[in-house]
Structure 1
Amino acid sequence: MRLRSSCAAVPRIAPPPGPGVELRRIRVNGVDLNVALAGEGPAVLLLHGFPHTWQLWTAVLDRLAGRYRVIASDLRGLGASSRAEDGYDAGTLATDAEALLDALGEDSAAVIGIDAGTPPAFLFAMRRPGLVRQLVVMESLLATLPGGEEFLTAGPPWWFGFHTEPGLAESVLTGHEEQYIDWFLNAGTLGQGVEPAIRDAFVHAYTGTEALRCVFSYYRALPSSARQIQEAARTGRLTVPTMAIGAHPVGRALEQQLRPMADHLVGHTIEDCGHIIPLHRPDALLGLLEPFLALAGPTVDPHPGHV
């Protein structure tokens, strides 16, 4: 059971990782990334979104680490990674991911991205398919590629405009970070909330003007990211085995964007699941990830599944 905790005190430091998880600080592409490592075997790289840190993957990490070397990084500027001045476009983040694998001595990985982690995961697979064994993407749109029209009928989510205006959101939200993060965590789990320790870690990660500036820089870089995504889709195909997973609210929109360009795509939606899939429905997610990651070769499923 996940517990809703909207009034817990903000910790002075983030809680320590669980047993079997090593935290390392790794210099890549001009920034220091905070990276959680667990397990041994073929590499699996996990890329979180907003308002998350690597601890988004807490409920799935142990089982994945039983068969894989799990690499869960705080993205550039977020969590305990260094506060970069720039580089928040999807292309630079994809380069961060590639450089991280290289720094860890990995010559390939299954790459799993959700929310803001999806565009860099996609570009990484498009640009360097030899390094990406498999791609899993969740609960995001890839810019304005065809397929997302129904989701965008009423326009993008309200917070996109708020976050995009330079300097505005951080000036308004500084001192009120708890309430704002709680709204996303509760909405992203259909009102269920997340466990207090994880909730506190997320609030801690996004407290302070500089922390907010960094995360809102992702939204301010969306035009650059969109151009990169559109160019990749125009000039190439997604050749690696790919799985698109939707829940509420994105549903099948991401799968519909990928299907025209993907050579090997399976699509699933998880019913009664909010946007924060790894914390809201971890068992359902693992039920999709484990058989997909275990596949020796690509598969094609023209009939999307529902869990």
Structure 2
Amino acid sequence: MSRVEANGIRANVAVAGDGPAVLLLHGFPHTWRLWTHVIPRLASSHRVIAPDLRGLGATTRAADGYDAANLAADAEGVLDALGVPSAAVVGIDAGTPPAFLLAMRRPERVRRLVLMESLLGTLPGAEDFLSSGPPWWFGFHAVPGLAETVLTGHEAAYIDWFLDAGTHGRGVPSEIRNAFVDAYTGSEALRCAFEHYRAMPTSARQIRDAVATARLTVPAMAIGAHPVGRALERQLEPVAADLTGRVVDSGHIIPLDRPEPLLELLAPFVR
């Protein structure tokens, strides 16, 4: 593990392997350990870089800066701190919008882009997925101060719900589950997690502004599972110059639930 200065925070970063760089951006309720089964395979031929996002895991619990553009600046700062000029960038869940904006704003830093199991703000294409409204926790997490007040002392049960739902009840290895629970225990840890949701309107505006004046020129792959499916791919189709879409038979937490099918797609694409 390394601690590096990046965009005004100290980012906790797992680094493994040598070769062309691959940057892995996790989501909620995860840390860099989301990529536990992915890192060894990729590290056989790549330099794999997996930071904890702002406020999460062992990265600085910042007061603000949780919008996608600033998270993209965090990611670029990690690359700068490690002396990496460019990388294949992989984002899932909350890691997807900053990965997208990094590729839009700094395409020379992104060799390939892989986006998984998330939406890109309010871009058209996700109407079917949102026909019954956004997931219930989006609203709960968005109310300032509410979720952390309600959940403090009940973090393990709450995290377990997401881990079970995201693997269709199969769960994740106990060591990883315990690491996630530890990372999200305490009112300040929870506040930082929910700041990512509270910044979503700002992130959506940043994404709309980005695609209003430019196209995504970086070769990109959209990988869906359950529940997002092809919604992200449909959002990307009008704005991406070179897009591949795939769906895997997996719960939402693909890197832990179905790492082998994911690696079959990921390894050759980032190579």
- Please classify the TM superposition score into its range, dividing by the shorter chain length: over 0.9
Determine which of 27, 32, 50 is the counterpart of 2:5. Answer: 27
**SS in structure 2 at match of 1:113:** strand
User: For residue 283 of structure 1, what is the amino acid of its counterpart?
Assistant: E
Corresponding position of 1:109: 87
Corresponding position of 1:57: 35
Residue 200 of structure 1 pairs with residue 178 of structure 2: yes
Corresponding position of 2:131: 153
Distance 1:170 1:139 in 2: 25
TM-score (structure 1 length as normaliser): 0.88
Decide which structure has the larger Cα Rg and report it. Answer: 1
Question: 1:233, CA displacement in angstroms?
Answer: 1.1
Question: 1:293, CA displacement in angstroms?
Answer: 1.4
Corresponding position of 1:292: 269
Question: 1:140, CA displacement in angstroms?
Answer: 0.1
Question: 1:37, CA displacement in angstroms?
Answer: 0.3
**SS in structure 1 at match of 2:107:** coil
Determine which of 73, 79, 98 is the counterpart of 1:95. Answer: 73
Runs of 4+ in 1 over 2 A off after TM superposition: none
Residue 213 of structure 1 pairs with residue 191 of structure 2: yes
Distance 1:106 1:293 in 2: 16
The answer as to whether partners of 2:12 and 2:59 remain within 8 angstroms in 1 is yes
Distance 2:53 2:122 in 1: 23
User: What's the % identity of the aligned pairs?
Assistant: 70
Question: 1:196, CA displacement in angstroms?
Answer: 0.1
Distance 1:223 1:247 in 2: 24
Determine which of 283, 290, 294 is the counterpart of 2:260. Answer: 283
Question: 1:286, CA displacement in angstroms?
Answer: 0.2
Distance 1:204 1:51 in 2: 11
Matches within 5 A, 1:120-131: 120-131=98-109
**SS in structure 1 at match of 2:188:** helix
Distance 2:268 2:91 in 1: 17
Corresponding position of 1:79: 57
**SS in structure 1 at match of 2:50:** strand
**SS in structure 1 at match of 2:63:** coil
**Deviations 1:145-201, CA, capped at 9 Å, x for gaps:** 000000000000000000000000000000000000000000000010000000000
**Deviations 1:61-89, CA, capped at 9 Å, x for gaps:** 10000000000000010000011000000
Distance 2:242 2:69 in 1: 23
Question: 1:99, CA displacement in angstroms?
Answer: 1.1
Question: 1:95, CA displacement in angstroms?
Answer: 0.5
Question: 1:243, CA displacement in angstroms?
Answer: 0.3
Distance 1:274 1:100 in 2: 29
Distance 2:145 2:54 in 1: 19
**Deviations 1:130-156, CA, capped at 9 Å, x for gaps:** 110000000000011000000000000
The answer as to whether partners of 2:117 and 2:229 remain within 8 angstroms in 1 is yes
The gaps in structure 2 that reach 5 residues or longer are none
**SS in structure 2 at match of 1:59:** coil
Question: 1:217, CA displacement in angstroms?
Answer: 0.3
**SS in structure 2 at match of 1:161:** helix
The answer as to whether partners of 2:22 and 2:270 remain within 8 angstroms in 1 is no
User: How large is the RMSD of aligned CA atoms in angstroms?
Assistant: 0.4
Corresponding position of 2:18: 40
Distance 2:165 2:131 in 1: 20
Question: 1:291, CA displacement in angstroms?
Answer: 1.3
**Deviations 1:210-266, CA, capped at 9 Å, x for gaps:** 000001000000111010000001111000000000000000000000011101000
Distance 2:174 2:227 in 1: 24
Question: 1:36, CA displacement in angstroms?
Answer: 0.2
Task: Looking at secondary structure, tell me which structure has more helix per residue.
Answer: 2
Question: 1:112, CA displacement in angstroms?
Answer: 0.2
Residue 234 of structure 1 pairs with residue 212 of structure 2: yes
Determine which of 199, 203, 226 is the counterpart of 1:248. Answer: 226
Determine which of 146, 164, 172 is the counterpart of 2:150. Answer: 172
